[in-house]
Amino acid sequence: MTLEEIRFGPVLLIPGDNSGRYPFCHSLYIEGKTRVIIDPASNREHLTEIKNGPGVDQVWLTHYHEDHFTHLDLFSDTELWMSDLDAPAMEEMEKLLYFYELDESDTHDLWVNYLVDFFNYAPRKVEGRFEEGDDVEIDLGGVVVKVIPTPGHTAGNVSFFLEDPGLLFIGDYDLQKFGPWYGDRYSSIEETIESVNKLREIPAKVWIPSHGKDIYDSDPGDLWDRYLSVIDTREAKLLDLLSEPRTMQEIVDARIVYKKSLEPKLFFDFGEWALIKKHLEGLIKSGAVKEEGDRFVRV
């Protein structure tokens, strides 16, 4: 099914610009007695029309990443909800950079400017918090939404399931060929795998990711496996590269994650480092890799 604006009962899918590819994402608008926008980073004009038309009572974020809050500034007077674990990142710039592991980076100030100038970041009080733990149902007045903790992408990442009409918003576990992102300070490869497997067991009828040109009106099937297999592929390539000792910069320059050099180099070097770092930590812990000075090598 090609992605377009489409209604599923009380839910309106708002496609992100450029098929929701970064720096955009898809948004959902839920029309209960309480009206909710999820992840306002799709299309600024459309979000403005909804704000000025039927209206928005609450904004929900699946997590704190910049490509999910870009147009949050439109809703500065609207109650903001997100997970308790991720909320601090929206309340303080330095906490957001800490979660990204950029708080002590040489590029700290560049990232501050990037987040403010391109993503309209401004500290916001998070009035409503989804607590860590079991799934919680929220009644919006005629529309019940199940909030599903799906950590791994971020510590407090959540997904949303509406049993009627059977819609599952899988968010950034988006089944794209690039594979999962688990590069933040409190991200986890193991939890990513657990969360994806949790989502694939939910008896949905429609699966909506945050990014990409497709939604799924039948079980994604093998796409779940393809998505998770990227993790193993990255690790296998890393181990092969480490048949000889390599510095972190040499590993980054090998482009295991992005496959080629991309611009802006600042952004993609960080992404490469962040994901590879998680693999190295796991491999060192398991004894498959060791550090020799400033180099890493397969045991």
177 domain residue, yes or no: yes
Residue 67 shares a structural domain with residue 164: yes
Residue 71 shares a structural domain with residue 106: yes
Contact in structure between 159 and 201 (CB atoms under 8 Å): no
Domain with residue 123: its CATH number is 3.60.15.10
Residue 293 shares a structural domain with residue 176: no
What are the C-alpha distances in Å from 1 to residues 6, 207, 221, 222, 240? 11, 11, 15, 16, 38
* Structural domain ending residue among the three candidates 198, 220, 242: 220
Residue 123 shares a structural domain with residue 100: yes
Residue 75 shares a structural domain with residue 96: yes
SS3 59: strand
Residue 243 shares a structural domain with residue 216: no
SS3 67: helix
Question: Measured between alpha carbons, how far is 147 from 160 in angstroms, rounded to an integer?
Answer: 5
End-to-end alpha carbon distance in the chain:
46
What are the C-alpha distances in Å from 80 to residues 14, 21, 58, 75? 19, 24, 6, 9
* Structural domain ending residue among the three candidates 186, 220, 254: 220
Residue 132 shares a structural domain with residue 239: no
Residue 74 shares a structural domain with residue 136: yes
139 domain residue, yes or no: yes
Domain with residue 288: its CATH number is 1.10.10
Residue 32 shares a structural domain with residue 60: yes
Angle at 22 between CA 19 and CA 23, to 5 degrees: 110
Task: Tell me the per-residue pLDDT of 168-222, one tens digit each, with 9 for 90 and over.
Answer: 999 999 999 999 999 999 999 999 999 999 999 999 999 999 999 989 999 999 9
- pLDDT of res. 282: 98
Task: Tell me the per-residue pLDDT of 219-277, one tens digit each, with 9 for 90 and over.
Answer: 999 999 999 999 999 999 999 999 999 999 999 999 999 999 999 888 899 999 999 99
- Please, where are the H alpha helices in 32-91? 44-52, 66-69, 88-91
- pLDDT of res. 172: 98
Residue 202 shares a structural domain with residue 247: no
Half-sphere exposure of 293 (CA within 13 A, CB side): 4
Residue 238 shares a structural domain with residue 98: no
Region 17-40 average pLDDT: 97
Task: Tell me the per-residue pLDDT of 115-141, one tens digit each, with 9 for 90 and over.
Answer: 999 999 999 999 999 987 778 999 999
β partners of residue 26:
none
pTM comes to 0.96
Question: How many structural domains comprise the chain?
Answer: 2
Question: DSSP secondary structure string, 228-293?
Answer: HHHHHHHHHHHHHHTTS-EEHHHHHHTTTTTSS--SSHHHHHHHHHHHHHHHHHHHHHHTSEEEET
pLDDT at position 10 over 90: yes
What are the C-alpha distances in Å from 38 to residues 75, 99, 249? 12, 21, 37
- pLDDT of res. 253: 97
257 domain residue, yes or no: yes
- Please, where are the H alpha helices in 22-124? 44-52, 66-69, 88-91, 93-100, 108-119
Residue 203 shares a structural domain with residue 236: no
Cis ω for the linkage preceding 264 (within 30 of 0): yes
β partners of residue 173:
none
Cα 251 from chain centre: 24
* Structural domain ending residue among the three candidates 192, 220, 248: 220
Question: Measured between alpha carbons, how far is 89 from 96 in angstroms, rounded to an integer?
Answer: 4
Q: Can you give the residue range of the structural domain that contains 197?
A: 6-220
